[in-house]
Structures are given as C-alpha cells and as structure tokens.
Chains A and B, each alone.
Chain A
Amino acid sequence: MTEQINTNHHKANLEIFSETLQRLAQNDRDIIAVTSDSRGSGKLVPFGNKFPNQIVEVGIAEQNLVGVAAGLAACGKKVFAVSPACFLTARALEQIKNDIAYSDNPVSAIGISAGVSYGALGSTHHSLHDYAALRAINNIIIVAPADNFETEKAIELAANSNIPVYLRFGKKPMPFLKSNNDDVFAFGKARTITEGEDIAIIATGETVYPALEAANKLKAEGINVSVISMHTIKPLDTNILDKIAKKCSAIITIEEHSVNGGLGEACASYLIQQQFAKPFKIMGIPDEYTVTGSQEEIFNHYGISEQGIAAQVKLLLRK
C-alpha cells in the first residue's frame, strides 16, 4: 500500500514540543523547563509567559543547564532541559553521562534544531555526533520523532519516564507520515509507515519523510518498499529488524547524523550478529567537513531526498 502523505496543518516538531509541554504543565506543577537562553529558539516563550514559576533560565551555560536539571529531577520535578542539540550533547555530555544517566535522574534532555537544522550556520551548530555519543552511555533513551504525532507522544512519555530521555528534532514543518494517527506509540517500538517486501528503509527523525516520498515514487515503478520510522535509536526495536530481515531483500538506513556510530551502525551491529547477509546501506552525513547550505540543500547534497533515496534503492536492488 502507498501511504498518502498528509500535509495538512503540519508544524515543526519543535512547536509541537512546546504546545505539548504547555498542555502537560497546565495540570502538573512539577513540569519544569530549564533553558540556556534557548526559550526563543525552543519556542518556549508562551510556556514562560503562562508558567513563569515552571521555567528556569540559566543563561548560556549548558553544563549548568544539565546539572541544575538533574538536581531538580532528584527532587521530584519532571524536567525538560532545552538547548540546541549541538551544545547540549557536546558541551554538557559529561553532565548527561554522570548527572542524568549514571545518577538515574530522569531528565528529558531536549536537543532543539538538531542534525543540520541550522544549515548554513555551519558545523559548530550541527549535531551529527549525538546518537553516537549517547548510544555509548548506559541508561538513556534516544529518540528522534519524525512527525508531529510522534513528537507529541514522545513528549508525553518523556514527562513520566523513569529513565532519562534524549529527544531531538528540527525546526522545519514536518508532514504527518500517516493519514490516521492511531498507532500505539512506545519508546523502543518502531512505527511501520508503509509495507513492501522488496526493500526496507529504516529512517529516523526528519529523514523518514523523504524516505516515504521515495517509497511512493518507487511504488509507481513497481518496487515495493517498507518504510520504518525508527524513532527510538536506543533501545533499538530488534523485533522489527528481525521481521524485515526475513521479509525484505535489502535494507537501507537513513539518518540526519554522521554515518559513524548512529542508527545505521546500530542496525548493522544487531543484524550481522543475527547472520543477516543481504545488501545493506547506511545513508547519512559522511565523515567529512559537512557541505554548507540549508538543511534541504545539505540533505540533497548527500542524497537524503526523494530522488537520492530512490536512486540508492535501485542501486542496492541492482535495478
């Protein structure tokens, strides 16, 4: 089947994060946002206006942001530590590792404008390392929601998670991946967007949408593609990997992240240990000085586009 892309009323996942957090905070005084001069870029101005006693502003000081968040969580608060993903997961990596994950303080670390969302601002502002860095840290869930539905559900789950969560998203409006948003959403359980047996594309975050566009294009050409939104990079949904490894003749993974250490290598590591021996390709940002341009231009440059993904599918299937 071809999943009809629903482009109505979609927003940036970042906006859905803010709206969901405001809704949750309405009935829960323990919901706290901690920001590092990031309330504007985190779309949290309305949150701050409505709940001035539930927002903590530490200024541009990411290590303190995460440490303060950990202290608040240790005292029972449901904390969302919000900062650009590039700074949050590099500058404050030790605080994420020690104060949140190792210390079992269930903070939701929110990486805004993740991946190459900041586009032409350059490498300092890109987060292409965050999955890799955090995958090697015990006791943290890593989530990259693909659309507004996944974002809303992920924020709701994160608010009450007793395990720390890292959530990242971009600032571009993201169409709904499905016309009906009635999937059961759980961390560690991938969403099947569309099913086909020729090849599976396992994508995450904002790369799921171009994967779906490619699948729809290929369908018309007689190639049946499964598209999986692997919104949770850790823990990985190995059940769905088992299923598609049997069913499909090849697998492509796509991520807005370095090809080193991210979703693709996580899938490859699991699959190879299950004796998977079919064509496999990791798409992402190669290990080089990232090309400059907008997010879309960077995606296009590295083939993370309807055309680029479709071409890669054909290459892998030798069609």
Chain B
Amino acid sequence: MYKVSITSKELKQKSVIYRKKILQYISQAKAGHTGGSLSCIDILNVLYNVVLNVSPENFSSPNRDRYVQSKGHCVEALYVTLADKGFFNESDLNTMCQYQSKYIGHPTKKVNGVEQNTGALGHGLPICVGMAIAAKMDEKEYRVFTLLGDGELPEGSNWEAALSASKYKLDNLCAIIDKNNLQITGTTAEVCNTDPLNKKFESFGWAVKEISGNDIDALKDAFSSLPFEKGKPSVIIANTNKGKGVSFMENEIKWHHGVPSAAQYLLAQQELDYALTLIEND
C-alpha cells in the first residue's frame, strides 16, 4: 500500500466522479462498455489511488507494479482512472473511438499508463504470470495485478495460467475477478456456470478472498492483506453490481454495451450528483 493519505470518503467521491466521467465519454463516443466499467471502477479506484506503485513519474521504472486489464473492453474505467492519475490530459478522451484516436475501445500501450494491449479475453492472466515470474527471477519487489471479468473465465487459458501461478508460488501476483454475474447473452450462471469460484481457485492452489467489490473499505482491507498466503497467488473474488451507481442500469444486461440516450444520460448524472452530495454530507 503506497498511498495511505487518501481517505475512504475521498475515494468514495472519486468513484462517483469516475462513474460520471465514464458515462460522459461513453455518451460522447456513442460507444463503450457501460455496465462493466461501472461495476469495476471501485476496484480500479482503490488499485490506482491506494495500492499500486504506479505513477506517470515511475512508469518507465522496472520496479513499478504492473496492472494488466484482462477485461479490456471496460477500458473506459481505465481511461478515466489514468487521466485522473495524470498519465494524460483528460480532454484527450474527447477523441475516444474516433478516427485515428489512440483512445480505442480496448487498452493499448500507445496510451500512456497502459501496461499491455488487451481485448481478446483470457489473455491477462498468462501475461501476468510471466511478469510475476520475471520479478521472482530478478528478485524484484514489484507486484502484478490483473482484473478479470467473470464472463471471461470459461477461457481455458485462464486456468492454464492459474496452474502455472501456483506451480511457481507467485505470491507477488493478485488476480481480481469483477464478478458482476452478467455477460452479453445472460447471466454467467446460465451461459457457462463457473461457480463456485472460491473452491475452483483454492483447488488450483490459490489463496482466495471473497468481498464486496463495490465497497471501498472492503477493497482496501483485501489489498492490504496481500499476499493472502505466503507462497501462493492471491485472488480476490469481488462481487459487484453491473451498472453500479445508476439505478436503471444496475443488473440490466442491456447495459453491457448500451449507450445512454440524452435523457438517460441526464438522469444518470443527476443520480450520481445526488450520490456525491450524500457522501459530502456523510
């Protein structure tokens, strides 16, 4: 944990502001993965503002922590977080998904602060296993984090990588599963049930914590106790709500990559503004 100066209240405010910006840029671009970006933004918030030793200043240092977003389609959440961290001017996001913009619909290293190109699912964990092995080989202190969607877990490459992570005792590796239980076709339980995830990961040799992934304090607590077990990779099963923060988007499959209309956009922003005032008055 590198940044302990930020309070939970400030983090909660940031989460709402990030949500407002996610909706702003998705609405402007008329494209994006709304529901998943809203479900995972609290995780990114705590990672970048509390946990990760990553900043624009140290981004070329070999000792920086690594974050690879396996669920690359929720890039809007990453963009607003990186902009807030000062990796680039937020106004750059006005070009998101436009002709020749580098701010495309999945993470690319052309964008300052992005560690790896992702987009095809099931790729983040194997890459992170390689990064974590490299840290062990070089006896470096950096840690490696990846965010996976629960919908991408049927990709076999995740489980191949899970085996290697425990074989190589990668306690410098932490996978976070944004478990919002929905994917484009339906519920993850209907499409291809991967539950019980905790037992699966335990049996693959991982140390598991299951938390509420939209709860800032729960996230802080979980990250502060890494590694959960010495000599084992850690996985946080973060139970989240797809569309979190905007009541009419929550748990609605159509917001997987739904873009709000002008009226819906205003309604959503009003609700988030109200959430901000509640936090301020708390």
Interface residues of A (CB under 8 A from B): 32, 53-54, 56, 58-59, 61, 63-64, 66-77, 94-95, 98-99, 102-104
Please report whether the interface of chain B is mostly helix, strand, loop or mixed according to DSSP.
helix
Partner of A74 from B116, B122, B164 at Cβ < 8 Å: B116
Q: Using Cβ atoms and an 8 Å threshold, which residues of chain A touch B226? A: none
Within 8 Å of chain A (Cβ to Cβ): is B134? yes
A72 touches B131 (CB 8 A): yes
Residue of A nearest to B116 (CB): A103
- Minimum distance in angstroms from A168 CB to a CB of chain B: 22
Tell whether A77 pairs with B117 under 8 Å between CB atoms, given A58-B164, A71-B127, A95-B123. Answer: no
Tell whether A70 pairs with B127 under 8 Å between CB atoms, given A98-B117, A104-B109. Answer: yes
Within 8 Å of chain A (Cβ to Cβ): is B163? yes
Q: In chain B between 109 and 155, which residues have their CB closer than 8 angstroms to a CB of chain A? A: 109, 115-120, 122-123, 125-135, 137-138
- Minimum distance in angstroms from A67 CB to a CB of chain B: 2
Best-surrounded residue of B131, B132, B134, B156 (most CB of chain A within 10 A): B134
Partner of B161 from A68, A72, A74 at Cβ < 8 Å: A68
Within 8 Å of chain A (Cβ to Cβ): is B160? yes
CA distance A63 to B109 in the complex (A): 21
Residue of A nearest to B164 (CB): A58
A71 touches B128 (CB 8 A): yes
B62 touches A67 (CB 8 A): no
Q: Using Cβ atoms and an 8 Å threshold, which residues of chain A touch B127? A: 67-68, 70-71, 74, 99
Partner of B126 from A53, A67, A73, A103 at Cβ < 8 Å: A67
Q: Using Cβ atoms and an 8 Å threshold, which residues of chain A touch B161? A: 64, 67-68
Tell whether A75 pairs with B130 under 8 Å between CB atoms, given A63-B157, A63-B160, A64-B157. Answer: yes
B160 touches A69 (CB 8 A): no
Q: Using Cβ atoms and an 8 Å threshold, which residues of chain B touch A58? A: 160, 163-164
Q: Using Cβ atoms and an 8 Å threshold, which residues of chain B touch A104? A: 109
CA distance A102 to B117 in the complex (A): 7
Number of interface residues of B (CB under 8 A): 31
Best-surrounded residue of A54, A59, A74 (most CB of chain B within 10 A): A74
CA distance A297 to B128 in the complex (A): 44
CA distance A66 to B161 in the complex (A): 11
Partner of B123 from A61, A67, A75, A77 at Cβ < 8 Å: A67
Q: In chain B between 66 and 86, which residues have their CB closer than 8 angstroms to a CB of chain A? A: 66
B116 touches A72 (CB 8 A): no
A71 touches B157 (CB 8 A): no
Q: Using Cβ atoms and an 8 Å threshold, which residues of chain B touch A64? A: 126, 129, 157, 160-161, 163-164
CA distance A66 to B156 in the complex (A): 14
Q: Using Cβ atoms and an 8 Å threshold, which residues of chain A touch B164? A: 56, 58-59, 61, 64, 68
- Minimum distance in angstroms from A162 CB to a CB of chain B: 14
Partner of A98 from B120, B125, B168 at Cβ < 8 Å: B120
A98 touches B123 (CB 8 A): yes
- Minimum distance in angstroms from B102 CB to a CB of chain A: 14
Q: In chain B between 3 and 53, which residues have their CB closer than 8 angstroms to a CB of chain A? A: none
CA distance A53 to B138 in the complex (A): 10
Q: In chain B between 155 and 195, which residues have their CB closer than 8 angstroms to a CB of chain A? A: 156-157, 160-161, 163-164, 168
CA distance A61 to B164 in the complex (A): 10
A70 touches B62 (CB 8 A): no
Tell whether A71 pairs with B160 under 8 Å between CB atoms, given A76-B62, A98-B117, A103-B109. Answer: no
CA distance A75 to B129 in the complex (A): 11
CA distance A72 to B66 in the complex (A): 12
B134 touches A76 (CB 8 A): yes
B163 touches A69 (CB 8 A): no
A53 touches B137 (CB 8 A): yes
A61 touches B160 (CB 8 A): yes
Best-surrounded residue of B66, B118, B129, B160 (most CB of chain A within 10 A): B160
CA distance A228 to B221 in the complex (A): 65
B133 touches A61 (CB 8 A): no
B131 touches A74 (CB 8 A): yes
Nearest first, the 10 closest Cβ-Cβ pairs linking A and B are A71-B130, A67-B126, A75-B134, A64-B160, A61-B160, A68-B130, A71-B127, A63-B157, A71-B131, A103-B117
CA distance A75 to B131 in the complex (A): 6
B157 touches A67 (CB 8 A): yes
B133 touches A68 (CB 8 A): yes
CA distance A53 to B136 in the complex (A): 10
- Minimum distance in angstroms from A106 CB to a CB of chain B: 13
Residue of A nearest to B162 (CB): A64
CA distance A71 to B135 in the complex (A): 10
Q: Using Cβ atoms and an 8 Å threshold, which residues of chain B touch A73? A: 130
Q: Using Cβ atoms and an 8 Å threshold, which residues of chain B touch A32? A: 137
Q: Using Cβ atoms and an 8 Å threshold, which residues of chain B touch A63? A: 122, 126, 156-157, 160
Q: Using Cβ atoms and an 8 Å threshold, which residues of chain B touch A70? A: 116, 126-127, 130
Q: Using Cβ atoms and an 8 Å threshold, which residues of chain B touch A76? A: 62, 134
Q: Using Cβ atoms and an 8 Å threshold, which residues of chain B touch A68? A: 126-127, 129-130, 133, 161, 164
Q: Using Cβ atoms and an 8 Å threshold, which residues of chain A touch B115? A: 74
Tell whether A99 pairs with B163 under 8 Å between CB atoms, given A70-B130, A72-B133. Answer: no
- Minimum distance in angstroms from B115 CB to a CB of chain A: 8
Tell whether A71 pairs with B126 under 8 Å between CB atoms, given A61-B163, A103-B117. Answer: yes
Residue of B nearest to A81 (CB): B130
Residue of A nearest to B156 (CB): A63
CA distance A103 to B128 in the complex (A): 14
CA distance A99 to B279 in the complex (A): 41
